[in-house]
Chain A
Amino acid sequence: MPLAESWQTAEIPGPKKASLIIKPDIADAIIRRAKRPIMIVGYGAVEYEVEGIKLIECLIELANKGKIPVVVTASTAREFLNRGFSPAALMPAVDIGNRLTDPAWKGLDGKESYDLAIFVGLPYSMEWTILSGLKHFAPYLKTMTLDCVYQPNASWSFPNSTIKDWAANLRGIVENLGD
């Protein structure tokens, strides 16, 4: 499978494409470097399960260790609440995307703009278009996706990967962050 091609073959954006996260350290460094990261988790996150571990559990660990506020979209909230994790906000994906394009928006806590938005679990083309909106209209913001498919409009994306490789990468990120 070609690594850095849009997962949906025809969804080719143009000259500016995401850099690849080829190993967990890269993602880890990006997250550590960010002063104000935020994570946006879509409904797809509920559906993935790798070797008995649900993606959502991995994301909760990531959010806790990295102290990253989480915005959950659609009906993802319940799964987080059931696991004793309170998301920072329930908000539709287009809404949070829109707020992120406003340079004057001071974040969910009203303190300061975010500098890194981590996306995971939105339907592919919806995440693609929202990341495109951010690429063009939020120049101060870096974006990263943790999906197992390549999202060209992010600043950083995993390559198209098998679920197994992807799970190993995610575990790697979470474990490194704990150091």
Chain B
Amino acid sequence: MVELRRDSVNVKIKELNSDIAHFRDLSITIGAITKETWVEPMGPTPYPSLTTLRSWDLKLLERYKPFYLPFCDLCCMCTYGKCDLTGNKLGACGISMAAQQSRTVLLAACIGASTHTAHARDLLTHLIERYGEDHPINVGELNVDIEAPLTRLVCGIKPVNLGDFEEVLDYCEKQLTQLLSVTHTGQEGNNLDFESKVFHAGMIDHVGMEVADIAQISALGFPKSDPEASLADLGLGTVDIKKPVILVIGHNVPPATEIIDYLKTRDLMSEAEVTGICCTALDMTRYSAKAKIIGPISWQLRYVRSGVPDVIVIDEQCIRADILQEAQHIHAPLIATSGKNCCGLPDRTHDVPDEIVADFVSGKITGALILDPVKVGEVAVRTALAIAPKREKHKLLPTHDELIKLAKKCTGCVLCRRACPNDLPISYAVKAAAQGNISGLDELYDDCVGCGRCESACPQKIPVHSIIVAAAEKKTRDESYRIRTGRGAIQDIEIRKVGGPLVLGEIPGIVAFVGCANFPKGSREVAEMCMEFAKRRYIVCTSGCSAISAGMYRNEEGKTAYEIYPGSFEAGGIVNVGSCVSNAHISGAAIKIASIFARRPLRGNYEEIADYVYNRVGAVGVAWGAMSQKAASIAAGFWRLGIPVVVGPHGTKYRRMLLGRSDKEQDWYVYDARTGEKVYGGPVPEHLFFAAETKEEAMVMVAKLTMRPNDTSKGRAIKLTNYIDLHKRLIGGMPHDVHLLVRKQADIPLTMKEDIEKILKEMEWTEHEIPDPTLLSRMIRKSKEA
């Protein structure tokens, strides 16, 4: 079968010497001729619109009713405002507080999804320019047949070449425009309709992320679903500061790969250090494992202020808005490379590299905008090599004596602490430092997210963040770890192996640590959680800043999580899929379980697949330091697939939770697909979006949220064992809801029989059947009436 894309027919003939023949250089492109080997018939919902999946969303929202947590009593989005929406008050446009909160959530999800989609667009345009639209998609050689599960599921197309993604992004962009328009004054007024659109934005986000990551994997030669992707260096302590050092920050990798190419082609790779922060760092180690990752986004200020980077190259997303000033303080030239983040710099895109380098070296300019990645590669490297020998390391960090002197200026006003998102006891530590004891400051380093708000707040102009980092200098020198580079997608063959055990519950679940680094207590907690779940034989996935944080901790034997656990998608594996956009491989893996293992039709068949994932695949996302709007849209994409997400305590600032009520029996009825009867399926998964107060609470909740109504008794027993064991150890005592989670005698783990039976007796528990669960009446195989 040959399928024509919507694009126009293109015929090029350089010479035609007819009567019947003699062509030269004839080239006929009919759109992109996609050799259609995909015989699967089109499902019901290709390219869903704003409302196509609304009834599915409302089913989930009926169970997981939003609990709104307004971050402000007011709305100030139009000139009628500010409007006070406290309590039952309505805005001048008639909007209620619930609708306004969901509107804000939609706005955040639109920002997040547009960011990924725009990133995907820039990346795709660049890669098509460079490698051609016919460049084949290849995410896993012969090990991956379902190359783009989200694209297939949502759009109903099977992409073959890079060019095929153009129409996928056209669709995403169109949906995002529609979604954003919904937040205008006087559009949607119902909170649940806003929420349904949040889910839509999330789904679009995952498609956009998938396009971005598949494009870069295919064109840039990243590891292709490789469980044994190489290990790379991680941490400040891994950098050889005697060499010229380039720092890249952001998410869009082409400038960084061009830097590496420039060094490689001139055999200079060992002469310079290419270091990075955040997702560009992750992605450039997928390009060359010789590049080094410094840390997650929270390392930005501390690394720049260490004075080590000779040249700083930024692309897009999560870059500090004051990066130019910070770079100027350490006399490091700044190169901005994205139209989305120009930093007020002069555009030197069309100037010759010699001139730009000369201007940097002479100090005539401190920054430049260069919108051509190849030129960035050359300018960054040549500038770094030229200025590094001359450039004294302009360390901003104070020496021990300077630190004490600065601390003596402290008046104890506590404004630093009142500005600190983690409410860290900064003023005590500064006071102690004034007395010569810097151990308190040193301790703060571990819990500090590097936001710098403390020093903006300090009336005495004490560089609070810098003195924290200075006090912890020994620690920073010891930051030397190993991280497995992002492997990308999950192989079909891995899915085949784990599909059964996962759906039956023998592998207790997939736990994905994703998102940013706004941690309540530092990176270490993520590493600890990863290791605990891997030890318990869950499949652990990591991505983005969380993937970095997971590697920043060593066990007693001096090994990091990635050195202890394998990188394969199996029980006890820790799978770093890659950067933020690689999150699509985690949702993609859940979708592939439905498609490959359960053989559910995939093409344009969102609702059925989501219903399958929701009821059967025990996957949970943990965004422990979720900070950004992108994290909001990533989470929303998981929600629509029925995958719960746990966030840290700061996550309540996303303005609403999606919480189930295990005490309301009527909320937990499902259809039994065998009989069509509505039966009690139990309160699983209990929540869809949940903020935990502490790491301990998060871990216990994760173990609980992997339960699904479809679990077999053996599977449920394994999940209960983990849940109860973690509860006893981390919370204390037996959980109070065991009776809600045991369905049959056979669900009871043998080792805990006595304790559980006691509770069951007290609660007058009775057995109930394990259904073949679905929320969709059309999935009933035999209708009740029939």
**Chain A residues close to B by CB (< 8 Å):** 1, 7-10, 13-16, 42-43, 73-75, 77-78, 81, 89-95, 97-99, 101-102, 122-126, 129-130, 132-133, 135-137, 139
A90 to B69 alpha-carbon distance, docked (Å): 21
B653 contacts partner chain A, Cβ-Cβ < 8 Å: yes
B70: nearest chain-A partner, CB-CB: A132
CB pair A90 B731 closer than 8 Å: yes
Chain B minimum-CB-distance residue to A108:
B663
Residue of A nearest to B457 (CB): A9
- Given A1-B414, A9-B419, verify A133-B70 contact (CB < 8 Å): yes
* Given known A-B contacts A78-B731, A136-B86, A97 and B693 have beta carbons under 8 A apart: no
A75 to B692, CA, bound (A): 11
Q: How many A-B residue pairs have CB under 8 A?
A: 129
Pick the contact of A75 from B74, B98, B661, B694 — CB < 8 Å?
Answer: B694
In contact, B652 and A9 (Cβ under 8 angstroms): no
Docked-complex contact B86 and A135, CB < 8 angstroms = yes
CB proximity of B586 to chain A, nearest CB, Å = 24
Contact B84 A14, beta carbon cutoff 8 Å: yes
Q: Cα distance A43–B649 when bound, in Å?
A: 12
Q: What are 26 contact pairs spanning A and B, CB under 8 A?
A: A8-B419, A10-B419, A13-B72, A16-B87, A43-B694, A75-B696, A75-B730, A75-B731, A77-B733, A89-B736, A90-B731, A92-B693, A94-B657, A95-B659, A97-B67, A97-B69, A98-B67, A98-B659, A122-B693, A126-B691, A129-B652, A133-B70, A135-B86, A136-B68, A137-B67, A137-B97
State A93–B68 Cα separation when bound (angstroms). 14
Q: Is the CB of B693 within 8 A of A93?
A: yes
What 8 pairs between A and B have smallest CB-CB spacing? A14-B73, A78-B732, A129-B652, A129-B69, A98-B67, A74-B693, A126-B649, A74-B694
Task: Please give, as numbers and ranges, the residues of chain A lying within 8 Å of B663 by CB-CB distance.
Answer: 99
Q: Closest CB of chain B to A14's CB: distance in Å? A: 3
User: Complex formed: what's the CA distance from A94 to B655 in Å?
Assistant: 12
Tell me which of B73, B98, B457, B657 contacts A16 (CB under 8 A): B73
Sorting the interface of chain B by its residue count into under 10, 10 to 19, 20 to 34 or 35 or more gives 35 or more
0/1 string, B654-670, CB within 8 A of A gives 1: 01010101010000000
User: At the interface, yes or no: B421 with Cβ under 8 Å from chain A?
Assistant: yes
Taking the nearest CB of chain A, how far is it from the CB of B444, in angstroms?
A: 16
Which of B67, B415, B693 contacts A123, CB < 8 Å?
B693
Cα distance A101–B421 in the bound complex, in angstroms: 27
The chain B residue sitting closest to A152, CB to CB, is B73
Q: Can you name the residue of chain B whose Cβ is closest to the Cβ of A15? A: B84
Chain B nearest Cβ from A96, distance in angstroms: 10
Among residues of B, the one whose C-beta sits closest to the C-beta of A126 is B649
In the assembled complex, which residues on chain B have CB atoms less than 8 Å from the CB atom of A93?
693
Complex Cα spacing A10 to B691, Å: 21
B354 within 8 A of A: no
Q: In the complex, given contacts A126-B650, A136-B70, what are 11 additional A-B residue pairs having Cβ atoms less than 8 angstroms apart? A: A7-B423, A9-B419, A15-B74, A43-B694, A74-B697, A90-B735, A97-B69, A102-B661, A125-B421, A126-B649, A133-B67
Interface centre among B67, B97, B655, B692 (most CB of A within 10 A): B67
Q: Which residues of A contact B690 (CB under 8 A)?
A: 92, 94
Output the nearest chain A residue to B727 by Cβ-Cβ distance: A90
